[in-house]
Amino acid sequence: MRSLLLWMAKDQRLRETLPRMPFAQRAVRRFMPGERLEDAFAAADRLQDEGLGVLFTHLGENVTSLAEAEAVAAHYGSVMEQDRARAHPRGRVEISIKPTQLGLVRDPDACLAHCDELARRCAASGTWFWLDMEGSDHTEATVRLYERLAAEHARVGIALQAYLRRTAADVQRLLPLRPAIRLVKGAYDEPGTIAYRSKTAVDANFQALGVVIAQAAGRGEARLALGTHDSELIERVSAIAEAGGIERSALEVHMLYGIRTDELRRLRDAGYPAFSLVAYGDAWSAWYMRRLAERPANVVFALRQLLP
């Protein structure tokens, strides 16, 4: 089921037709406050009012023209301006982008220029610019992009995937840069030659990498976000870190909007800085199918929306 859904996520025709289907539109609302930026800001107000941090991602990936990448960059510029004007007392919304949405494949230099400008604007306005991690075809280019951005800008972060065997080396490679790392399990279908395939192995690697990055975070040499809904795993990383004298406040928890929000609140109350990543935009089909792949029960929920 997981592989099928992840294969479907890559299918161009399905990507185009799914967003037009009313049952899918109803089902996706569970994970998105809405397609419009106003919907995302309304959700941000609610989340920040209750003491949660917020990240925004405008859905889309693999743009095929430079004009599209430019439009995406301009959109994020306008997000920053609107966020500044909104001036929520709890602070600024952070931005998280997929590098292929800014042209990583089409034109890596143009992608770097867009990221450079957005990272500069984020740092100037006191917020953060994050790179999501996509399929393994893009891992090396994304890590390299991060290295170039981190050399120039103070507030840039990268997602690293615990299911990839290379990630332990990537963590060591990035630690000298005093990085911000959002550690996630990984959402794509990767072969066993390059990725751990069992949940036990992925969780074990997540825990080991989480502890290594937490040690750097405890020394003030990294920002660590545990990007998972797996609160037991978060607590296992945290218990080891705390036994080593690292404060809980050095371990952030990032979860996706609409998933296990009660757990996010519980962790916030337990002293972890807690963030919700809010996705919006109309290009949600591939992203939504990855969410379905993560949990079979979500497929049942989606199919139930077919009923009158």
CB nearer ligand FDA, residue 112 or residue 187: 187
Name the residue type at position 230.
Answer: D
Binders of ligand FDA among residues 174 to 203 (CB under 6 A) are: 184-188
Question: Rounded CA gap, 68 and 74, in Å?
Answer: 10
Counting contacts by CB under 6 A, is residue 133 touching ligand FDA? yes
Quick one: which segment of 19-27, 164-172, 208-216, 251-259 binds ligand FDA (CB under 6 A)?
Answer: 251-259
Helix, strand, coil tally for the chain in percent (to 5): 55, 15, 30
To the query of whether residue 182 is one of the catalytic residues in this protein, the response is: yes
Q: Which helix (H) or strand (E) holds 275?
A: strand 274-280
Q: For ligand FDA, which residue of 142, 228, 238, 285 counts as binding (CB under 6 A)? A: 228
**Distance in Å, CB of 289 to ligand FDA, minimum:** 11
Q: What phi and psi values does residue 78 have, to the nearest 5 degrees?
A: -70, -30
Work out whether 254 is an interface residue with ligand FDA (CB under 6 A). yes
* 255 forms part of the interface with ligand FDA (CB under 6 A): yes
Q: What is the smallest separation between the CB atom of 299 and ligand FDA, expressed in angstroms?
A: 10
Q: Is residue 161 part of the contact set for ligand FDA (CB under 6 A)?
A: yes
Helix, strand or coil, per DSSP, at residue 164: strand
What are the structure tokens assigned to 28, written together? 């996706």
24-28 long-range CB contacts below 8 Å, 24 or more apart? Answer: 24/285, 24/288, 24/302, 24/305, 26/305, 27/288, 27/301, 27/302, 27/305, 28/284, 28/288
Binder to ligand FDA among 123, 259, 270, 283 (CB under 6 A)?
259
Q: Which of 15, 121, 182, 291 is catalytic?
A: 182
- Distance in Å, CB of 33 to ligand FDA, minimum: 15
Does 230 participate in catalysis according to the annotation?
A: no
User: Which of 230/242 has CB closer to ligand FDA?
Assistant: 230
Instruction: Tell me the two tokens of residue 269.
Output: 């109350």
What are the start-end ranges of the E strands in 45-168? 53-58, 94-97, 129-131, 156-161
Q: Report in angstroms how near the CB of residue 50 gets to ligand FDA at its nearest.
A: 17
Among candidate residues 83, 92, 132, 291, the one labeled active-site is 132
Alpha-carbon Rg for the chain in angstroms: 18
Instruction: Compute the least distance from the CB of residue 91 to ligand FDA, in Å.
Output: 18
- We find the least distance from the C-beta atom of residue 217 to ligand FDA, in angstroms, to be 17
Q: How far is the CB of 225 from ligand FDA (least distance, A)?
A: 7
Partnered with residue 5 across adjacent β-strands are: none
| Residues touching ligand FDA, count (CB under 6 A) | 23
When the beta carbons of 250 and 255 are compared against ligand FDA, the nearer one is: 255
Q: Is 132 in the site for ligand FDA (CB under 6 A)?
A: yes
Helix axes 37-49, 66-86, angle to 10 degrees: 40
266 lines the binding site for ligand FDA (CB under 6 A) = no
Query: Rounded to 5 degrees, what are φ and ψ at 137?
Result: -60, -25
> How far is the C-alpha of 202 from the C-alpha of 165, rounded, in Å?
9
Cβ closer to ligand FDA: 109 or 232? Answer: 232
229 makes contact with ligand FDA (CB under 6 A): yes
What is the C-alpha to C-alpha distance for residues 188 and 139, in angstroms, rounded to an integer?
A: 12
Q: Which residues bind ligand FDA (CB under 6 A)?
A: 132-133, 159, 161, 184-188, 227-230, 254-256, 259-260, 277, 291, 294-295, 298
Task: Please list the active-site residues.
Answer: 132, 182
